[in-house]
Amino acid sequence: MNRKVTEFLYGDSYAYQNLLICVPSLLPPLVSKACHPVDKEALLDFKHRIISDPSELLNSWTVSSNCCTSWDGVACDVSGRVVNVSRPGLVSGNDFIEDTYMSGTLSLYLGNLSSLQLLDLSNLKDLKGPIPREFGKLSQLTYLFLDSNKLTGSIPMTFGYLSQMKKLYLSDNFISGSVPASVARHWTSVLLGLSGNLLSGPIPSTIGKWIMITKIDLHGNNFSGRIPAGIGNLKNLKFLDLSENKIGGSIPPSIGGLSELILLYLNENHLTGRIPSSISGLTSMQFCRLSDNKLTGKIPSSFGNLLNLQTLDLSRNQLSGQLPPQLAKLQRLQTLDLSFNPLGLVEIPNWFQELKLFRLILAKTGIEGQLPHWLASSSLSVLDLSSNSLSGNYLIGLVLKLVNNGLSGKIPVELGDAKKLSTILISRNKLIGAIPEKVINLNELKEFDVSSNRLRGRIPTHKAIIPVSAFKNNPGLCGAPLPPC
Ligand SMILES: *[C@@H]1O[C@H](CO)[C@@H](O)[C@H](O)[C@H]1NC(C)=O
Ligand SMILES: *[C@@H]1O[C@H](CO)[C@@H](O)[C@H](O)[C@H]1NC(C)=O
Ligand SMILES: *[C@@H]1O[C@H](CO)[C@@H](O)[C@H](O)[C@H]1NC(C)=O
């Protein structure tokens, strides 16, 4: 996931982690009352179950001191009840989190912190064992961050009682089992991060009731079943990542109701059927990945309405038929990946030159003929047109093509005028002639692969470091890094 997206997802939580850093040391003691004995006992029991704390993060947590005024990461209300417990050891002043860890298990006594609003024990890396069912007693709990640990077991059923929950982060643990609809019944949570666990079973059908929710990240689990149709009710949803699961069925047309959605990642699932034309309703969408599924039919022309789209990745599906020319309207599009679809493109449509793409990936899409000359004046950095002469049974119009011809003719010298090109992947085609010196010496060139073509002649001297494998299977090519001519 790129940095932009990561910031988008985690931005909020970091923002107030930074606020918290100041809580124990810098705020004047608003709190005069001594720490409530039940809360102190609970936190000392938590400390007791931490069997390794090499950076001594919990050193300030002593029996003789006031937990409200002297304990790192602990904040109380005026009556001496603990309201916030956050991971101690955050370094103030910047985003840098001290690289440290704590080993141990979560104390059942934490369930006694009856005024607790925030519990942030994220990124301690070595918290093990289950989330105690006693956490269901934390009726004021609003923010729970336990991500990046080694927690096991399932999400306790008692979470159904946590009616105040606004942000729940359990990502990157080993939590298994399903998310029963009854657990999620009361959640209207504005942020839900359960990615990178071993969760399975269907996405709870109650999802349609989480009307306040803005972010749902369930990627990298083992969720199956279908995408609940109720998802279209989540009018505030901005971020939906269900990628890398085993979700099947078709994309519900109701998804078009998500007019605030900025990011939709459904890639690496078992989705079938057509992409619904209602996708045109996702007018805020900037990042769309539906790759690595079993989607069929045409690419809907209604994608042309999504004027904010920056990334469109439909690769590795079974999409076929003509590309809708309406895609030319997507003037903010930077990445277009349609590779590994039986599109039978034959040629790169001319309207592609109206786009201002940065990455164009059309590997194995049935392209034939010469490389278009307009590529020379494009702003492309990454061009991947490889594997277009691989055999495949593509139905083009009414004619079943058994073999694709791929790119043919010479690599045009003018391609060397596309100064921003850093990646040129044109292996497995039927290109002939020599490699133009100007192309292989493009200033930004980092990746170059022309293997398995019919190129001939001496490889021009070049400064980019290109492996031998990038030239192989061209019987007529010679010169370094291949044997001398
Ligand atoms: C506890 O954390 C919440 C959320 O970050 C914050 O709004 C509140 O001011 C904190 N309370 C105290 C007493 O530090
Ligand atoms: C604190 O939690 C423990 C474990 O759940 C429980 O046995 C104990 O009764 C609780 N103490 C109070 C005062 O609630
Ligand atoms: C994931 O689900 C499949 C069935 O869909 C199951 O066979 C497999 O064991 C599950 N894997 C994990 C890690 O839960």
Rounded to an integer, the average pLDDT of 413-432 is 93
Q: Is the pLDDT of residue 10 over 60?
A: no
Task: Report the predicted TM-score, pTM, of the whole model to 2 decimal places.
Answer: 0.88
102 CA from centroid of ligand 2 (Å): 24
Sorted by where each begins, the domain ranges of the chain are: 366-485
Residue nearest to atom 5 of ligand 1 (CA): 16
pLDDT tens digits, one per residue of 62-80: 999 999 999 999 999 999 9
112 lines ligand 2 (CB under 6 A): yes
Q: Does ligand 2 lie within 6 Å of residue 111's CB atom?
A: yes
- Ligand 1 centroid–CA 84 distance in Å is 6
**Percentage with pLDDT > 70 across the chain:** 88
Q: Beta-carbon neighbour count of residue 146 at 10 Å?
A: 23
pLDDT higher than threshold 60 for residue 390: no
Closest C-alpha residue for ligand 3 atom 13 = 198
CATH number of 366-485: 3.80.10.10
What band does 98 get if pLDDT is binned at 50, 70 and 90? low
Tell me the pLDDT tens digit for each residue of 267-312: 999 999 999 999 999 999 999 999 999 999 999 999 999 999 999 9
- Look at the block and give the residue holding tokens 């001398």: 484
What's the pLDDT score for residue 131? 97
pLDDT at 87: 80
Ligand 1 pocket at CB < 6 A: 16, 23, 75, 83-84, 117-118
Distance 222 CA to ligand 3 centre (A): 6
Q: Flag whether pLDDT at 402 surpasses 50.
A: no
Atom of ligand 2 nearest to the CA of 132: 5
Would you say 76 and 83 are in contact if contact means Cβ atoms under 8 Å apart?
Answer: yes
Mean pLDDT of 373-383: 91
Q: Is the pLDDT of residue 238 over 50?
A: yes
pLDDT (tens digit per residue) in 127-160: 999 999 999 999 999 999 999 999 999 999 999 8
The alpha carbon of 22 and the centre of ligand 1 are apart by a number of angstroms equal to 11
Segment among 13-22, 207-216, 263-272, 372-381 with least mean pLDDT:
13-22
Higher model confidence: residue 436 or residue 180? Answer: 436
> Which one of 178, 197, 198, 200 would you pick to mutate in the ligand 3 pocket, going by the greatest count of ligand atoms within 8 A of its CB?
200
Structure tokens at 138: 């934390």
C-alpha dist (Å) from residue 50 to 46, 56, 289: 7, 11, 41
State whether the beta carbon of 108 lies less than 6 angstroms from ligand 2.
Answer: yes
Q: What is the pLDDT of residue 264?
A: 98
